[in-house]
Structure 1
Amino acid sequence: MSLFATLGRTAALAMLLVAGPALADLAPSDAQRQTAEEIADSLLHGHYSDIDLDDDWSKRAFQHYLDVLDGQRAYLLRSDIDDFQDLSTRLDEAVLDGELARPFALYERYQTRVEDRLEWLLARLDEGLDFTFDGDQRMILDRSDMPWPTDEAQLDALWTKRLKNAALELAINRQDAEERKANAEENEDSASTEADSSSSRDDDTVDEKEKTIEETLRERYEGQLNRIRQINAEDVFDLLMTAVTGTIDPHTNYMSPRESEDFDIQMKLSLEGIGALLQADGEYVKVSSLVPGGPAEKAGVLEPADRIIGVGQEDEEIVNVVGMRLDEVVDMIRGPKGSVVRLEIVPGQAMDMTRSKVVEITRDTVKLEDQAAQSEVVEIQRDDGKHRVGVIKVPAFYVDFDAWQAGADDYRSTTRDVAKEIEKLRKENVEGIVLDLRNNGGGALQEANSMLGLFIDRGPTVQVRDARGRINLYGDTDSGSLYDGPLVVLVNRLSASASEIFAGAIQDYGRGLVVGSNTFGKGTVQTLNDLDLGQIKLTRAKFYRISGDSTQNRGVVPDIQFPSLVDPESIGESSLDNALGWDSVRKVQYRQYGDPRRYLDILRERHRQRADDHPNFHYLERRATLAERLREQHTSVSLNREQRRQETQARENEQLALENERREALGLEPLDNWIDSRGQDEEEPQPLERAPLTEAAEILLDFSRLESGIQFAEHE
C-alpha cells in the first residue's frame, strides 16, 4: 500500500481537497443545510431499520466520518481528534438541525493536514531521494486499528516509510518490466539481425524518455494538488453526507446532483465504456463486478477485485490514478464507442502492489441483446455412453420496459428468452437442464417471479418486508409450467439480488438442486427519494425466501459447494461496512415438488470423487486455501528491495506452482510467470470457467439417475 489510504467510496473525494478556498468559501449553503435535515428525516422515518439519531448513533457516525477522512491514521493528530470530540455526541444534532459548521470545520482541519503532507512530500523530492532500500524496515499495510499519531515527528516517520515504499514500488515495477521485456526479446524468433538491432534502437529511445522515479512521484503529487484545489462546499457536503448515510448500511447513500445524473445514465444502459462496476477501496479503485455482455467481460482481461492504478487513452501515456476520486477515474475510463482504453491493474490475487500489468479494452455500448439468455448442449461421457445436458446461461433479469409498457407483443424479457431456449433444448433431447446464474447481479424482480413460473405451477416466490413489519408476497400467478424435468441451478459469489431470490425459491420448493459457491447476500430493497440537492438511495425493505430465511448477508448456501474463484473477503455483502444482518420471518404455505436433499450424501460423495481427480477443481480448492493463508500472513511489506522481491517471489512461486501443476495435468505447457497466467485458459480444452459448469452437468445426471431409481455401478 502506498499513499492516501482512507475508507469507503468517497475516500478518493476526501483526497481531492486540500490547498484551496478559505473556510468562508467552504461554509455550508442554506440548500445544503436544508438537504441535511431532509436526509435526517429520511433516515428516521423511511429506512427499513429502526433508526435513532441519538448520542449512540453520533459516536458511530463521528467515527465513520473520521474513517472516511483518514481511515489509515496518516494525517490527523490525536490533538485534532480531541479538538473535535464534541461531535461524538453532537453530530446527530448537527444533521437534524442542519448546523454543519463544526463538521465542515473538522474537514478543514483535515484539509490543512493533507496539504501539509503533500507539501512535505514535494519538499523531500526537491531535496532528492537518497533511499538505499536496504536494512530491515517494514511498513504496516493496514493502520485502521492503529492509534492516532501524537505529534509531527510520528507523522514524518510514517510518511518517510510511505514515500520510500512508493519509490520502491516504482523501482521494482520498472525492473520487472525490463526483465520481462528482455526475456521476450531473447525468446523471440527475429527475422534478421538488422531487425533485432533496429528494435533495440527503438527500445533505447523509449527508455531515454522514461521519467525518473522522482519525476513520476512529483507528477503524481502535483496532480493531486491540482485536483484538490478544485474543492468546493458541495464536495465537502457530499463527503459528510456519505459518511452519515454509510453509518446506517452500505446501500443507503446520498447522491449529489452529478451522481444522480450518472446513476440515471447507468440505469438506461446507454453508457459507453468498458462495462465494469467500480468502487473505491481505500486509495485504490477496485472492480466490484463486470456487466454481463460488456466489453470488459468479453475481453477477459479484467476480473472482480482487480485494482486499477493507471488509465491511458489509446497510445497516450498512462496516468497514475492512485488517490484519485472515484468519479474522476470513471470519467477517464469512459469514452466513445470503438476507442481503446489502457488500464494498469494489479490483479486481485496479487499480494503486492508491485505486481501490475497493462491491459487494453475497446469501449462499447452494452445492449440488451448482449445480456440475453443463451443455451448450449454439454456432452458428458460415461461408461454407458454419451449423455446430453442442456445449459441455459442467464446473465441478468431484464425486460424491455418501454416495449412492455407500450403493449408490444414481441418485447424482450428474460422469461421469454429462457422459454425459447427450453424449447430448443427439448428438440435436442437433453436429459436435464442447468440454469447458469453465475455473475448474474439481478435486475427486474418481476422477471425472477415469472421465470420461476416456467418451472413450477404457480406459487409464491419471495416475501418483501417493509419498515413497519408488513410483508407483501410476490409470486407466479400463471397456471402450468413449461419444464418439469431434472434441474440444477449454478451460482457463484457474484450471483446477487434477483438471482438469489430465484435460486432460493428453487431450493425451497425442492424443484431442483443449487450448486456452486455462496451467493453475494444482497437481500435489501432500495428506493430513490428526491432531496433539495440530489437524491438519497434508501434501504426501505428486505427480501425473505418463502421458507422465511433472509437472503441478506448470508446469501443462498448451495446444496453442493464448489470452491470460489472470487475472494469472499473482498466481494460480497458480508465484506461491506455496516451491512444489515441475517434474520428470518414466518414461512409461507407452498407446494413441495420434491426432496432432492435426500440424495445429498451420495451426490456430494460422487462430486468429491470427481473433484479430487479433476485438475481444475483440485486447483480451485487449493488456490482458495492458499489465498486465505497468504492474506492472513501479508500484514506488512519490507522496504528492503531484495527482501521485498524475495517475499513477493516466494508467494508467487506458490501460486505459479499450483497453476503449473494444473496445466501439467491437462497436458498444457507450463508458464514462466504467474502474473501472465490470466487469459491463458482461452486456448485450453478445459478452461477454469468451464469446470463448474461441466461438474454441474455431472451432478444433474447423477440426480436424474437417482430420481429414476437407477443404481450406480461400484466402479462408477
Structure 2
Amino acid sequence: MINKFKYLLLGAVLAVGLAFSLPHGEESKKDKVIVNLVYNVLNTSHFAPQVINDDFSSKVFDHFIESLDYNKRFLLASDVEGLEKYRTKLDDEFKNSELNFFDEAFGVYDTRFNNAKGYFEEILAEPFDFTVEESFETDDEKLEYAKDEAELKERWRLYLKQRALGRIEEDMHDQEKALADNDTTVDQKTFAELEEKAREKELELHEDWFNNLEDLERIDWVGVYMNSITNIYDPHTQYFAPERKEDFEISMTGQLEGIGAQLQQKGDYITISKIITGSACWKQGDLEEGDKILKVAQEGDKEDEAVDLVGMSVRKAVKYIRGPKGTEVILTVQKLDGSKMVVPIVRDVVELEATFAKSAVLGEGEDKIGYIRLPKFYVDFYGDSNHNCAEDVKAELEKLKKDNVKGVVLDLRNNGGGTLQGVIDIVGLFIDQGPVVQVKAPGTAPKVLSDKNKGTTYDGPLVVMVNQFSASASEIFAAAIQDYNRGIIIGSKSTFGKGTVQNILDMDRAVNFTYNDVKPLGALKLTIQKYYRVNGGTPQLKGVVPEIILPDNYNYIEFGEKEEEFALPYDEIAPAKYTEWKEGTGAYAKAIKNSNKRVKDSPKFALIDEYAQWLKDERENTVLSLNYEAYHKEQDEFREESKKYDNMRKTDDSIMVASNTVDIPMWDATEEKQKERDRWFKGLKKDLYLHEAFEVAKDLK
C-alpha cells in the first residue's frame, strides 16, 4: 500500500546497458545531488535503515552487475573480475556521492555492447543448421560469465538459434494445422523459407533493440545504479529517474493505454506487472500478471504483420499497443507455464464502475447466499465521485439482507489493496468495534487503528475468498476476520505477503532554489511503515493462510513477497486487545471438514493440482533442444498435454445466480447493462472456486 499517491510510476529496472560520455559540469552536479538525496532520505526515513559498510557494498556490487547484464550476453568473466576492486568501496562512494564504479562499469559495458552488435549481425547472415544436436539453457541464473569472446559469441549464436527455432516451429505448426483443417488462407512455405524469414525477423528485432538502448540517456542508467542501492533496503524502495517530456504519460502511469495494464521490462521481455481493475484486459480475462508479451498485432493484420516485442523498449512497445477506444489489439503472450496464448482485447478507457463493489444472490430458498465482489479498496480517486468502498459494501450488504440471504461470500481475489481507512471501515461492518490493524514506523510504538462504530451492518455467516494476488489491504481484511474468528477464509495456500507501506517523495521539492539548474531530479518511493495483525503478527512474507486451502496454479511454485531477495523480515509485536467473535462459530469445524472432503474428492481440483505440478516440472526443464525434429516433438507433446487442462477451473454444476432485488431495475435499464450482467453471471455460474465458497457458506448457516 502506498500513502499519498502523487503519481503512478513504472516499476522497471532495465537489465541492459549502452554507451554514453562521462559526466561533466551540470551533469556531474546533478549526479551528486541525486546520490546525496537518496543517501540522506534512505538513512533517515526508511523503515529499516541499512548499515552502510563493506557487506552493504558487496550486495550493491552484485545487484548492479546482475542488472547490467542479467542474461550474461555482454560481460566477460574477466570484466567482472576487473571491477572486483570496487566490491568493498561502494559504501564509501555512496556516502561521498561518488559514481566512480558506475562510470567504469559502463565504460566496460560500452565496449561489450558494440561487440555484441557485431555478433548478431554476423550470426544472422548465415542459415542455421537444425539437424545437429545442440541445446540452449534458458535459465540465465545457471550460466557463468563467458571466459572469452569466442565463448560469448557462441552464446549469442545459440541464443539467436533458439529464437529462430521457436519462430519456425510455430509457423510450421500453423501450416500443419491449416492443412489438416483444409484452411487455404494460410500460406504453405518450405522450411528453408521459414528459416530465412525467422532470421530476418530476428535481425530487425535486434537492430531495433540496440537502437532503442542507444537512445537512452545517462540519467536513465544512473537510475539503474541507484536502484541497485535502494533495492538492498527492500524491493519496494525505488528511485525513478525523470522522463523526457514526450514520455510523461508513460513514465507517470506505466499504463498500456487502451487495454489497462502496467508493465515492466525484465531482460528481453516486457511483462505484465499489474492488471488495472475495470480495464479492457481485466474484463477480457485472459491476461495475467507475469505474462510476457511476445507480439502485438492490430485488427485486420495478417499473422506475419504482428510486431515482435521481445527486446523492444517499453516506450516503443506502448506505441503499438495504444489505440482508439473500440479498436482491437491482439497480444501474443507467454504464460508462466511456458505456453503461448493469443489474447484479443478491444481497447477501452478504464470503466471505473467495474472497480466498485457489486453483489448478486447465489442459490435459492433456504440456500440463498449473498455474493459481493470487491476489486479494490477504493476511495474517491477520480475527484468528483461519491463512491467509497466501505459505504458501497455497506449498501450491498443492506440489499442482500432485504433478500434474506443466509450467508455472505466476500470475494477479494486479485484485490491488490487500496486505502487503509477503507479496509478499517469495511472490517467494522462485520465486527462490533475494536482494533483492526497495527502500524509501526521505525523508533516508534505501534499505533492501533480501530473501528470505532458501535454495532454491525451484517452479523451472519461470512466466507472470504482470497488468492495469491490478494495483497496489502486485502490481507489486512482477511487477517482481521481470521483473528476475530469472524468468518472463514478460503483460497490459495497464502495471500501475497506484502506487509509494508510506501510514500513517494518528489525530489525536486526536497532541494532549495539553488538546485533549480539540475532539476528535474526524479522521485523516490520509500518504505516507511509495517503493518501488523491484531494478534501481533504481520502479513509480511507469510501472507494470510486460509482455513480452507484450494489447489491452484501456484501450489508448487513459490510466489509473492517472500521470493524477493531483500524483502523485509517477518516479525511480531504485542497483540492488541480484542474480543473474538462467538456467534455461529460452532459450525466452523464442520464446514471446514466438509469442504476439505469435497476438495479431496473433486476431479476438477485434482486436475488443477496435477496441472500445478506439471507447470512446476515444465518450469524446471530449462534446457531446450535446438534440433528441429526433437523440439517440434516436444512442442507437440506440450500442446497435447495442455489440452486436458483447458476447462479445469469451470465447475460442471452451475450455481443459480440472480440479481439482488434492489438492483433489478438498474440491470434491466439498458441493453448494455443487461449484457454486462449476463457476462458477469455467466462467469459466476461456472466458477469452481466460488462454487466451493458457496457450499462452505451454506454449511455455516
Within 1, Cα distance between the matches of 2:448 and 2:84?
47
Aligned residue for 2:199?
Answer: 214
1:435 matches 2:410: yes
Distance 1:174 1:584 in 2: 55
The one-letter amino acid of 1:465's match is K
Please point out which of 167, 172, 181 is paired with 2:169. 172
One-letter amino acid of the structure 2 residue matched with residue 549 of structure 1: G
1:227-272 residue CA offsets vs partner (Å, 9 max, x unmatched)? 12213211221211122212221110101223995589549x9x84
Instruction: Label 1:311 to 1:371 Cα distance change in 2 as closer, same or farther (>3 A).
Output: same
Determine whether 1:227 maps to 2:224.
Answer: no
Matching residue of 2:610: 622
The whole-number CA distance in structure 1 between the counterparts of 2:649 and 2:374 is: 29
Confirm or deny that 1:287 pairs with 2:275: no
Aligned to 2:243: 258
Larger displacement relative to structure 2 (333-342 or 658-667): 658-667
1:361 maps onto 2:345 in alignment:
yes
Counterparts of 2:357 and 2:684, CA distance in 1? 21
Q: Which residue of the other structure, out of 149, 157, 178, is the alignment partner of 1:181?
A: 178
Instruction: Give the residue type in structure 1 aligned to 2:441.
Output: D
Question: Where do residues 443-592 of structure 1 align in structure 2 (5 Å cutoff)?
Answer: 443-517=418-492, 518-532=494-508, 533-566=521-554, 569=557, 571-592=559-580
Structure 1 contact 630–651 (Cα < 8 Å) conserved = no
Partner of 1:679: none
CA deviations 1:62-112 (Å, max 9, x no partner) are 000011011232221121112211221111222222211331220231232
- Of 151, 154, 157, 1:157 maps to 154
Q: CA deviation at 1:481?
A: 1.1
1:376 aligns with 2:360: yes
Structure 1 residue 26: Cα displacement: 12
Counterpart residue type for residue 110 of structure 1: Y
Q: Is the 8 A contact 2:650 2:687 kept in 1?
A: no
Match of 2:379, SS? coil
Alignment match, 1:671: none
1:654 to 636, 641, 649: 641
Q: Distance in 2 between matches of 1:328 and 1:445?
A: 36
Match in the other structure for 1:95:
94
Distance (Å, rounded) in 2 between the aligned partners of 1:665 and 1:390: 21
Among the aligned pairs, what percent are the same residue?
35
Q: Given residue 77 of structure 1, which amino acid in structure 2 is its aligned partner? A: L
User: Matches of 1:598 and 1:642 in 2, distance apart?
Assistant: 61
Q: 1:178-214 CA deviation, whole Å, 9 max, x = no partner? A: 233334445xxxxxxxxx7xx57x999xx99998122
**Aligned partners of 1:314 and 1:341 also within 8 Å:** yes
- Name whichever of 327-336 and 315-324 sits farther off: 327-336
Task: Please name the residue that 1:31 is paired with.
Answer: 30
**Other structure's SS at 2:220 match:** helix
Q: How does 1:267-286 map to 2 (within 5 A)?
A: 272-286=257-271
Residues of 1 paired with 2:382 and 2:653: CA distance? 48
Measure how far apart 1:581 and its partner are: 2.1
Q: CA deviation at 1:334?
A: 3.4
1:693 aligns with 2:677: no
Q: Say if 1:372 and 1:395, in contact at 8 Å, map to a contact too.
A: yes
SS in 1 for 2:88: helix
- 1:47–1:685 Cα change, 3 Å: closer
Aligned to 2:631: 644
Preserved contact between residue 292 and residue 334 of structure 2 (Cα < 8 Å): yes
2:307 equivalent to 1:319? yes
- Give secondary structure in 2 for the equivalent of 1:457: coil
What residue in structure 2 maps to residue 712 of structure 1? none
Match of 2:130 among 123, 126, 133: 133
Structure 1 position 601, deviation (Å) = 4.9
1:613 CA displacement: 4.2
Q: Which moved more, 1:257-266 or 1:271-280?
A: 257-266
| 647-656 vs 254-263, greater mean Cα deviation | 254-263
Are the aligned partners of 2:462 and 2:486 in contact in 1 as well (CA < 8 Å)? Answer: yes
Q: Does the 8 Å contact 2:434/2:578 carry over to 1?
A: yes
> What is the TM-score normalised by the length of structure 1?
0.84
Q: 1:329 to 1:467 in 2, by over 3 A?
A: farther
Matched ranges for 1:675-686 at <5 A: none
The correspondence of residues 594-613 of structure 1 with structure 2, limited to 5 A, is 594=582, 601-613=589-601
- What is the one-letter code of the residue matched to 2:380? D
The 3 A distance-change label for structure 1 pair 432 and 301 is same
Query: What amino acid does structure 1 have at the position aligned with 2:507?
Result: L
Equivalent position of 2:121 in the other structure: 122
Task: State the shift of 1:576 in Å.
Answer: 2.9
**Whole-Å separation in 1 of the counterparts to 2:546 and 2:691:** 16
Question: Contact (CA 8 Å) 2:548, 2:596: kept in 1 or not?
Answer: no
Q: 2:371 aligns with which of 378, 388, 391?
A: 391
Could you say if the C-alpha distance between residues 340 and 652 of structure 1 is closer, same or farther in structure 2, counting changes exceeding 3 Å?
closer
For these two proteins, the number of residue pairs brought into alignment is 648
Contact 1:616 1:688 in 2 (8 A): no
Alpha carbons of structure 1 residues 63 and 309: separation in structure 2 relative to 1, 3 Å:
same
Equivalence for 1:347: 335
Paired amino acid for 1:628: K
Q: CA RMSD in A?
A: 3.2
2:624 aligned counterpart, secondary structure:
strand
- 1:344: Cα distance to partner? 1.8
1:418 aligns with 2:417: no
- For residue 535 of structure 1, report the CA deviation from its aligned partner: 0.8
Query: TM-score, with normalisation over the residues of structure 2?
Result: 0.85
Structure 2 CA distance, aligned partners of 1:307 and 1:489?
31
- Give distance in 2, aligned partners of 1:79 and 1:403: 56
In 2 relative to 1, CA 45–662 (structure 1 residues): closer, same or farther, beyond 3 Å?
closer
1:500-532 per-residue CA deviation (whole Å, 9 max, x = no partner) reads: 101110111111111111111111000111224
CA 1:666/1:105 → structure 2, altered by over 3 Å: closer, same or farther? Answer: same
Structure 2 CA distance for aligned equivalents of residues 499 and 36 of structure 1: 35
Query: Partner letter of residue 579 of structure 1?
Result: A
Q: CA 1:572–1:334 in structure 2 vs 1: closer, same or farther (change >3 Å)?
A: farther
Letter in 2 for 1:29: S
1:279-322 alpha-carbon deviations (Å, 9 max, x no partner):
33332122233222110011123122221012334445322121
Give the counterpart letter for 2:283 in structure 1.
K
2: CA distance between counterparts of 1:502 and 1:579?
22
Contact 2:500 2:530 in 1 (8 A): yes
Distance 2:196 2:325 in 1: 31
Paired residue type of 2:637: A
CA distance in structure 2 between the aligned counterparts of 1:389 and 1:10, rounded to whole angstroms: 43
CA contact (8 A) 1:139 1:639 kept: yes
Alpha-carbon offset, residue 686 of structure 1:
8.0
Matches of 2:329 and 2:195, distance apart in 1 = 21
> Aligned equivalents of 2:193 and 2:619: distance in 1?
38
Distance in 2 between residues matched to 1:26 and 1:318, nearest whole Å: 45
Return the offset for 1:447.
Answer: 0.5
Q: 1:448 and 1:171 mapped to 2: Cα distance?
A: 51
Instruction: Identify if the C-alpha distance between structure 1 residues 266 and 447 changes in structure 2 by more than 3 Å, giving closer, same or farther.
Output: farther
AA partner of residue 286 (structure 1): T
> After alignment, is 642-651 or 461-470 more displaced?
642-651
